[in-house]
Structure 1
């Protein structure tokens, strides 16, 4: 399964109401960042050699991530229902999420509603 961390403007990332990040705002931010690329899909080779592909109009990759290409590790940022979601982010990816959140006037919040601050530390 994994653990998702969200860039969100809502009180809690899963709230139905509250301010959302607009898909066009997300696209513009990704396109303005030379270290991000808007792909609209992600693909990976699975155990039997077949290719798994996920399509999402706001799916972007952080191309400057040091793990990119190493064992197929990519830092994917997926736009979902007014939030931007990353699965299992760690230090460097959390830092990139914080940078993007600041530009979006948003926060970085984990699945259990903990809020992340500088260095990925939990601040709330």
Structure 2
């Protein structure tokens, strides 16, 4: 799958308020995520992600609060979509590119959060690591 895809493999980045994204608190609330989606006309709640695999089959992931960034410049004809999934009090994106990282940072600012990778590193507005 491409950048922003949801699959079992890859590297996740998390929009989080937690010291470490895997901690219990403080969470981004589901109501906050829903409100954000309602106010950002670039994000649409789809509830699923689907992508074609190299063998021609499709892989679908259902998640009630999974949203797509509709203005992602890397997407073409419903492929290479940028999906944002709400999980465990975080908003999670798999394998984001620089454009998606920048959008994640903007979302994090609106939610009073930050962007943190699976290994604990923190990302800045330009998609680069600012702290590890």
Give the TM-score band, short-chain normalised.
Answer: over 0.9
* 8 Å CA contact 2:106, 2:125 repeated in 1: no
**Matched residue of 1:94: which SS?**
helix
**Matched residue of 1:119: which SS?**
coil
**Matched residue of 2:20: which SS?**
coil
Match of 1:34 in 2: 41
Matched, 1:100 2:107: yes
**Matched residue of 1:96: which SS?**
helix
Q: Aligned runs of 1:62-81 on 2, under 5 Å?
A: 62-69=69-76, 72-81=79-88
Match of 1:60 in 2: 67
Deviation (angstroms), 1:48: 3.9
**The 10-residue stretch of structure 1 (59-68 or 42-51) with the greater mean CA deviation from structure 2:** 42-51
Q: TM-score, normalization: structure 2?
A: 0.87
Deviation (angstroms), 1:6: 0.4
Q: State the distance in 2 between where 1:88 and 1:31 align.
A: 25
Q: State the distance in 1 between where 2:78 and 2:37 align.
A: 24
Q: State the distance in 2 between where 1:45 and 1:119 align.
A: 29
Matched, 1:113 2:125: no
| Greater RCO structure (CA 8 Å; 6+ sep) | 2
What is the aligned residue count?
A: 123
Unaligned ranges ≥5, structure 2: 1-8
Deviation (angstroms), 1:24: 1.6
1:41-75 CA distance string (max 9 Å, x none): 11122344333221111100000000112681000
Q: State the distance in 2 between where 1:104 and 1:13 align.
A: 15
Q: Give the root-mean-square deviation of aligned CA atoms.
A: 1.4
Structure 1 segments of 4 or more deviating over 6 A? none
